[in-house]
Amino acid sequence: MIIGYDTAAISSMLVIIKEDLGAALSDWQKEIITSATTLGALLGGFAAGILSDLTGRRLVIVFANIAFIGGSVCQAACHTVAAMVAGRFIVGLGVGLASCIVPLYIGELAPTLIRGRLVTINCVAITLGQVVAYAIGSGFQSVNNGWRWIVGLGAMPSLIQLACIGFMPESPRILLLRSRVSEARSIIARIYPLAKVEQVDRKLEIMKAAVDQSKEYNDASTWGERLQSLVTVGTNRRALIIGCGLQAAQQLCGFNTLMYYSATIFTMVGFTNATAVGLVIAFINLIFTLVALKIVDPLGRRKTMLWTLPVMIIALILASIFFHHLTLSTGGVLQSGASYPKSFSILVLLSMLLYVAGYATGLGNIPWQQGELFRLEVRGIGTSICTAVNWSCNLLIAGTFLSLMNRVGPSGAFGVYAGFCVVGWVFCWALYPETSGLSLEEVYFVFEEGFGVEKSQRLREEKMLDARKLKAAAGVV
């Protein structure tokens, strides 16, 4: 939730902070403040998976919460741009740690049939955090130093999670790596409460066999050799290409420019309460993330991506056209204080809402299923690299958006993002296999011969058919 809260809170802050840090913020300073979080997230995301292999998944979540609390306090108390940048960077470390580990942690604990939905619930929490941030930002818009309350309140979810961390189990696969078999079995029994004893034992046996194989490999290899295997071993390399490609697509589509700069954009477009407009965008994001929660497992990851990316492309093309007509009087660029046609301002907003709906249903959550792509021995390193790619692309987008808008105008900027979405669709169509319904151990076999697009769909259909037969047999009995 705090990840979503922070990405949306910065949008309100950039509008209402005014001269509280000594002078009005320039576009360059806004980009630096925004990008500081992304840089921290890049570093935190890269370290997270590797660190979790050493300490376990839960302890990394603790580190993330500590970073969130420290960064929020630093921002709330700052009086200079440099101090604000430092606070944003510290929060970014927490964002990177959490964005990498939480989906991985959930994926390793989740039952196979609802793994996608449970990881998507994490995305629902993120979008809920965005809604809360915009609502709080709107409420504090006219309060003196209200932005300090906005960032300070960001520490609350982390404090609550720290208090609850003792009730969270460790990943059973991590426990098996440490030879704590009885604890792992107990957690598996909690994950599958309706399973019979022999079914739990069978699940433990399959998981332990995969873990023992990974442990044997880890004992005989160095960290550098495991990192190298992500490139030299075909199954690992293909998983890495898919994971990094999806994460790059998630950021290069430009969605987070809306999260970071929506209040700035819609203020310039002519909306009197741009923070409230941002709240509408965040609410649509939440609603369609809930739609994703419903369809991500039964419909499948691949099909969801292939259906929702065209919606984003159409919406971005429409936004580009509407921005072009909107800014004809100002030479194709947005200018503060300029008077723009209300009709085109509304059309821009509607196209953005359509874009958000497409994003939230697919690209906003599916890349975070990345943990299911990798074998256990390289899962931490692999997810770290994928997360680092995500935040690297985020840094590129966040750090250049306002400058890009000034250079080519909003029409050109959103046209560029539409082009990236087209590339993303082709990538998914050509390379992305279907992992829904497959266990973490089964996903590995998909990549044994090529990217396994057809193989994965065939395997999923076979498992669904077997499940229907078992259900029918149970009904007869």
Range of the domain at 64: 2-171+232-470
Q: What is the model's pLDDT at position 477?
A: 42
- Burial class, 153, CB count within 10 angstroms (exposed 0-12 / middle 13-18 / buried 19+): middle
Q: How far apart are CA 64 and CA 318, in angstroms?
A: 39
Q: Does residue 214 fall inside a structural domain?
A: no
d(CA 364, CA 125): 12
Q: Can you state the angle between helices 27-55 and 81-109, rounded to 10 degrees?
A: 40
168-212 confidence digits (pLDDT tens): 888 888 888 888 889 989 988 888 888 888 888 888 888 888 888
How far does the chain reach from its first CA to its final CA, in angstroms? 45
| pLDDT 10s digits, 105-147 | 888 888 877 887 888 888 888 888 888 887 887 777 777 778 8
Is residue 203 domain-resident?
Answer: no
Number of domains present in the structure of the chain: 1
pLDDT at 221: 74
Residue 392's CATH number: 1.20.1250.20
Residue 179 lies in a domain: no
CA 276, CA 125: separation in Å to the nearest integer? 20
Tokens of 293: 């929660």
How far is residue 118's CA from residue 249's CA, in Å, rounded to a whole number? Answer: 22
In a domain, 36, yes or no: yes
- Predicted confidence at residue 136, as pLDDT, reads 84
Domain assignment present for residue 446? The answer is yes
Per-residue pLDDT at 278: 78
The reply to whether 75 falls in a domain is yes
pLDDT given at position 471: 66
Residues 5-21: pLDDT tens digits? 887 787 778 777 877 78
Give residue 475's pLDDT.
58
* pLDDT at 476 (0 to 100): 46
351 within some domain:
yes
Q: Say if 101 falls within a structural domain.
A: yes
Q: What residue ranges of the chain have pLDDT lower than 70?
A: 467, 470-477
Cα separation values, 190 from 113, 220, 322, 476, Å: 16, 33, 53, 28
